[in-house]
Structure 1
Amino acid sequence: MSVKLDAIIFGATGFTGQIAVEKAPEVLQGLTWGVAGRNKSKLENVLSTVGQKIGKDLSVVPIILADVGDRSSIEAMAAKCKVVINCCGPYRFYGEVVVKACIEAGTHHVDISGEPQYIEGMRLKYHYLAQKQHTYVISTCGFDSIPAEMGVVHAEKNFPGTVNTCEMFWENILDYRDKNSKAVLHAGTWESAIHAMANYGELKAFQRALETEKLPDLRPKLKFWPLARKVEFLNRYFFPIHSGDRDIVMDTQRLRYMNENKRPIQFENYIGFRSLWTTILTQIVIIFTVIMAQIPGLRQILIKNPKFFTRGLMSHEGPVEANRAAQRFQMTFRTRGWTVGQPLTEQPKQVLLTRLSSLDPFYGMTCLSVLATAKIILKEHDKMPNDGGVLPPGYAFANTSLIEELGRLKNGLKFEVLKLEQQ
């Protein structure tokens, strides 16, 4: 292959990788792309099956054989394209070899990891090398970090004044068209989450190493409420979920403060349900799961039995397509700050409500997002910062047209401005 492909979808035979192949003709239209994995016959089967499903001949899509256990094959794959779309997890075990190969080849890398230790570890280890190679390495390019990151970017762009705080209220709406399956996530996501919980201490060490400059003491401080409570304007009950999303958003705010001297936005995220009992029970289950993940024997039991411990919400089979298509989510952002010209020494007087929503958030929207980020890197490299580096998506794509790209795609992200009011 003498001419480089624009993009390669690595891990195309996996659960998420197959969906990425399905979405690629729409998102990567006009670009050249291929698929990669370790088994040629399985890759051919994916192209045949997906092609029949979407009514397109994908037999001409290039196939590249690459295996994370064979470093030379990964290096050869990275050399064959301009950006690798990495769908092969858990990234804690399989991600670094791909990242390293991409940087050495001068190839960009995007993935859908939500694994904080992997994300921070790659930034700590490879950021300056990626900058030297003019290569972007951007993780968390799927659900739910892209909605969180670009939701904050969208809110700030539509806020006439200076933003002080932003709160994100996340709701999932599950509609089971196929009553025989309750699964909403694949077991691979569960395994990644368990390993992240088990290695929380490692994450804190990475974060301390990366936080070379403290953020300013911002006032007024964003109030944090640790227990379940009702949010009246949404008529739902919410509790804080300090997943990787908050860390990713704050990474972006730190970089903008350090590199652009911009006032950071204080951020918190919450997840909500209709019932107070469901909200409290979910919070308790998460706390006990975190505790169990610290104990090696119990950790393996958790990993091997996702269906039992999640009451069927996660399984090795993953969600059936009918249920995926019926799932939807919305994230409502409450942004507070100062009006134009108002002194920052006064109490903020302005509140903006915005919202993001989509169907099939965990897989369909995730694949649309990661493909769209690859496209933006190729098309709008000049609008991205630093000419390379290991970066969070909110910082990398803030000045690009990613929001517009996600909004125009079928079943992409819908961005709305709901209300602006003075207090």
Structure 2
Amino acid sequence: MAENNPSIFDVIILGASGFTGKYVVREALKFLNVPNSPLKSLALAGRSPSRLSEALNWAASPHLPPKIPLLTADTSDPNSLARLAAQAKILLNCVGPFRLYGHPVVEACVESGCDYLDISGEPDFMERMEALFHEKAVEKGSLVISACGFDSIPAEIGLMFHSKHWAGSSCPNSVDAYLSLESDKKIVGNFGTYESAVLGVANADKLMELRRSRPKRARPAIPGPGPAKGSIIEHQKHLGLWALKLPSADSIVVRRTLSTLTENPHGLPGVNETPEHHKKREAFWSSMKPAHFGVKLATKSLLGLFPVIMLGIFIGLLSKTSLGRWLLLKFPSFFSCGWFKKKGPSEDQVASATFKMWFVGHGYSDSSLASQGSKKVDTEVITRVSGPEIGYLTTPIILLQCALSLLNDRENLPKGGVFTPGIIFGPTDLQERLQDNGISFDFISKKALPT
């Protein structure tokens, strides 16, 4: 139904009729007005009420759709975004690429004081929003948290889970995440992810310029030497995987979280924090052990890395010119060897896909060993995060659980500001929420290494 009278909704989903948005709607309906869920009111927003209605019908199928307000808003119309933000406790933004469409949405949320979550994996957008809006968001009481999807919650919460297994005086030096995508059908990625990658490489110089213009962030004290450069391609025999080093948004987001933690060793206090949560937050962060972190894409065969290598070469060569970008975005299937298509994956392809992210940490059985210059790492810890297809199933699960955690625990979280998800959700129950909704966190092994 169309909504004429402004109300305050717990959650508004912007871009609800898009490829990812409709899956977010389907996930949200599971928690709307059910026992023990803080989600009591929901609205959908986008440019076309008819498309929003179609998305709601699809998301509710085979049941009749609930009576949910459908709100008209366009990222090119600041007034419509201001009206939208004024009606939301939390706005979930599914309209990407975020470097093209995200700025006015963040601005509207900050001005209104509502909270903002998105599924961006675009470092330039995330860091630019922090530079532009952090102070105003603190003042207005608006929490702005990007990367609340597959980028970068599995990496962030997965690293925190991994850190728990370095008990006592033991400590990690480096943790590498090996991401393996699996399916008994052809894996087809989200075109929005592909477009964001093309534009990200095309504008890499602007990100470097932004970073040079800002004060340097604190660096965590990580025991032992910096990580060796290593080879681009690696055979991880223990896991049975071939791996390719990636320039990953996940590693950038993790570094930003660790910098914030270095500047705030006990984390960020809540706006009206309970004594219990204060104690829980300080205990959580005091046990967190930072490490050098990187991400590698992994496959079971060396040949499986070929499409990724070719895509990287094509994007590197063509993204710097307007003609090259046009070709890349016009023919994604050709340049990605079929990995990305404009129409996206079929329902069967989505349902059959899964992911595993292996966290392989190397460090010291006792942190005092790290100060001995020639002493090599002597301990290996392996943990794993796993779940369903990353773009249309895992991402909506994560985004909704972040929103529910925010609704449920808002007084224990900071008043406002632009932050990474890890520093906000680390001490909350988000890991348990994800575990209850199909995303597993598992301890695999711990062993001594020959020295």
- TM-score, normalised to structure 2's length? 0.86
- Of 96, 107, 117, the residue aligned with 1:89 is 96
Aligned to 1:179: none
Give CA-to-partner distance per residue, 1:322-354, whole Å, 9 cap, x none. Answer: 011111110110123344675542544332110
Q: In the TM superposition, what is the alpha-carbon distance from 1:387 to its structure 2 partner?
A: 2.7
| CA distance in structure 2 between the partners assigned to 1:302 and 1:288 by the alignment | 8
Matches within 5 A, 1:223-234: 223-234=228-239
| CA distance in structure 2 between the partners assigned to 1:67 and 1:310 by the alignment | 31
Aligned to 1:372: 401
Matches within 5 A, 1:18-167: 18-28=22-32, 29=34, 30=37, 31=39, 32-53=41-62, 55=63, 57-160=64-167, 161-167=170-176
Establish whether residue 399 from structure 1 lines up as the match of residue 424 from structure 2.
no
Q: In the TM superposition, what is the alpha-carbon distance from 1:174 to its structure 2 partner?
A: 2.5
Partner SS, residue 444 of structure 2: strand
Q: In the TM superposition, what is the alpha-carbon distance from 1:263 to its structure 2 partner?
A: 6.4
| CA distance in structure 2 between the partners assigned to 1:333 and 1:359 by the alignment | 18
| CA distance in structure 1 between the partners assigned to 2:259 and 2:291 by the alignment | 9
Give the CA RMSD over aligned residues.
Answer: 2.0
| CA distance in structure 2 between the partners assigned to 1:283 and 1:86 by the alignment | 31
Q: Which amino acid letter does the alignment assign opposite residue 384 of structure 2? A: R
Partner SS, residue 92 of structure 1: helix
Partner SS, residue 30 of structure 2: helix
Q: Judging changes above 3 Å, is the alpha-carbon distance between structure 1 residues 80 and 44 closer, same or farther for their aligned structure 2 residues?
A: same
Q: In the TM superposition, what is the alpha-carbon distance from 1:381 to its structure 2 partner?
A: 2.4
Partner SS, residue 215 of structure 1: coil
| CA distance in structure 2 between the partners assigned to 1:406 and 1:281 by the alignment | 31
Aligned to 2:193: 189
Aligned to 2:417: 389
Structure 2: runs of 5+ lacking an equivalent: 267-287
Give CA-to-partner distance per residue, 1:266-295, whole Å, 9 cap, x none. Answer: 111111112223335632431332221112
Q: Which amino acid letter does the alignment assign opposite residue 375 of structure 1? A: L
Provide the identity percentage.
31
Task: Single out whichever of 188-197 and 219-228 deviates more from structure 2.
Answer: 219-228
Q: Which amino acid letter does the alignment assign opposite residue 374 of structure 1? A: A
| CA distance in structure 2 between the partners assigned to 1:214 and 1:24 by the alignment | 37
Q: Which amino acid letter does the alignment assign opposite residue 162 of structure 1? A: C
Kept in 1: contact 2:109–2:115 (CA 8 A): yes
Q: In the TM superposition, what is the alpha-carbon distance from 1:184 to its structure 2 partner?
A: 1.4
Q: Which amino acid letter does the alignment assign opposite residue 246 of structure 2? A: I
Aligned to 2:217: 213
- Of 329, 337, 344, the residue aligned with 1:311 is 337
Q: Which amino acid letter does the alignment assign opposite residue 38 of structure 1? A: R
Aligned to 1:241: 246
Q: Judging changes above 3 Å, is the alpha-carbon distance between structure 1 residues 50 and 260 closer, same or farther for their aligned structure 2 residues?
A: same
| CA distance in structure 2 between the partners assigned to 1:7 and 1:183 by the alignment | 31
Give CA-to-partner distance per residue, 1:182-214, whole Å, 9 cap, x none. Answer: 461232222121111100011112223345235
Kept in 2: contact 1:257–1:264 (CA 8 A): no
Q: Judging changes above 3 Å, is the alpha-carbon distance between structure 1 residues 318 and 281 closer, same or farther for their aligned structure 2 residues?
A: closer
Q: Judging changes above 3 Å, is the alpha-carbon distance between structure 1 residues 226 and 396 closer, same or farther for their aligned structure 2 residues?
A: farther
Q: Judging changes above 3 Å, is the alpha-carbon distance between structure 1 residues 151 and 133 closer, same or farther for their aligned structure 2 residues?
A: same
Kept in 2: contact 1:237–1:272 (CA 8 A): yes
- Of 368, 371, 378, the residue aligned with 1:345 is 371
- TM-score, normalised to structure 1's length? 0.92
Q: Judging changes above 3 Å, is the alpha-carbon distance between structure 1 residues 232 and 210 closer, same or farther for their aligned structure 2 residues?
A: farther
Kept in 2: contact 1:171–1:331 (CA 8 A): yes
Give CA-to-partner distance per residue, 1:302-325, whole Å, 9 cap, x none. Answer: 111111111222111100010111
